[in-house]
Amino acid sequence: MSQPPGRRARRLVALSAFLLLMLPAAASAQATRTYVSGVGDDVNPCSRTAPCKTWAGAISKTAAGGEMNAIDSGGFGAVTVTKSITIDGNGHHSSILACGTNGVVVNSATAKVTVRDVAINGCRNAGSPGFNGIRAIAAKSLRVEDVRIMGFSIAGIALEPSNANARVRVHRTRVHDNGEYGILAKPATGGSLRTTLSRVRLDDNGNGVHANSANGASKVRIFDSTVTDSGTDGSTGYGLWSDGQTASIRAGDNRITGNVQGLFQANFGTLVSYGGNIVDDNDTDGIFTSSVARK
């Protein structure tokens, strides 16, 4: 306190410089598990005691193959993923508000990515909708579990891999209120795709599930799922839509109701029933192209 102000200032400058030097060192050490918090800060190391504020801020501090968790409820923002990573918001309301953009973009042909227990909101009813809730441009494997995706102008989940043999699994996930598609499974040129959906609830989307092989083979399996009320906003409103010679959708124990058309094929796309599907109360129900008996 008794020091002259000049020396105090000099010390402060020295301390600040020291801290600034330390920061990059702390940031560059990647942890296998990192944390975000509604009251965190992305200048932190994303540790349990010094959490970050966003997935995007945490991902650079997370080792490839690691996971990002949430300490408390918060909006953790959109993120682009280019390495193996798990985003797990379990235990809290972990949300991604993606007005005017994509929620989670996956872009690595070698990455295994998991998105779990988050809510991704495209703000479609708030005036400036985001494009896609989850978009895979390239992915070795993508797993989506217990996620809620709503309010995007294009698709809840857009699977458009440019790599061959991309595999996607979606479980216990709700996809609603998206302008064009609940789930779009349409590989880009050079890509092919295998998608498994179980216990997924798709409603109020422009179309429910669209497998399209225009650029590469697309195979979709769907079980124990609900595809309902597609096209209530004036879109074509197909529940399950298989388009192209190497596009197939195989379906068992689903409820396909209240769509403009329940089942729709174009360009020799196939739609195979495993039985147990309720296809009723659509403006037009449509038909499966074949069936496979149970054993």
Partner 1 sequence: MRKLLILTFLLLVALPATASAQATRTWVSGVGDDANPCSRTAPCKTWAGAQPKTATGGEINAIDTGGFGTITITKSLTLDGNGTQATTTACGTQGVLVNAPTNAKVALRDFRINGCRDSANPGLNGVRVLSAGVVRIDNLRVYGFSNAGFALEPSHLKARVMIQDTSIHDNGAYGIFARPSTGGNLRTSVVNTSIDDNGNGILSSSAYGPSKVRVFDSVISESAQSTFVGFGLWSAGADSSVRVGDSRIVGNLKGLHQSDSGTMLSYGGNIVDDNNVDGTFTGSVLRK
Judged by the rule CB under 8 A, the positions of this chain that interact with partner 1 are 38-39, 72-75, 91-95, 97, 99, 119, 121, 123-127, 151, 174, 176-177, 201, 203-204, 226, 228-229, 232, 255, 257-258, 273, 275-281, 287-288
Closest contact distance (angstroms) between CB of 44 and partner 1 is: 16
Backbone phi and psi for residue 116, each to the nearest 5 degrees, phi listed first: -140, 135
Longest dimension (CA), the chain: 90
140 or 201: CB nearest partner 1? 201
Query: Closest approach of Cβ 130 to partner 1, in Å?
Result: 11
Smallest gap from residue 30 Cβ to partner 1 (A): 27
Q: How far is the CB of 269 from partner 1 (least distance, A)?
A: 17
Buried b (16+ CB within 10 A) or exposed e, 254-268: bbbbbbbbbbbbeee
Rg (CA), the chain: 23
Query: For residues 37 and 132, which CB has a smaller minimum distance to partner 1 in the complex?
Result: 37
Is residue 111 within 8 A of residue 139, CB to CB? The reply is: yes
Query: Which element (helix H / strand E) includes 155?
Result: strand 152-159
How many CA atoms within 13 Å lie on the side-chain side of 274?
13
Closest to partner 1 by CB, 31 vs 100, is 100
Q: How far is the CB of 214 from partner 1 (least distance, A)?
A: 27
The residue written with tokens 């599930």 in the block is 209
Task: Give the residue with the Cβ less far from partner 1, 190 or 276.
Answer: 276
Nearer to partner 1, 122 or 187 (CB): 122
The least CB distance from residue 186 to partner 1, in Å, is 25
Nearer to partner 1 by C-beta: 67 or 229?
Answer: 229
Dump the DSSP string for 24-82.
Answer: HHHHHSPEEEEEE-TT--TTS---SSS-BS-HHHHHTTEEEEEEEEESS-EE---EEE-
What span, in angstroms and rounded, lies between the C-alpha atoms of 31 and 293? 49
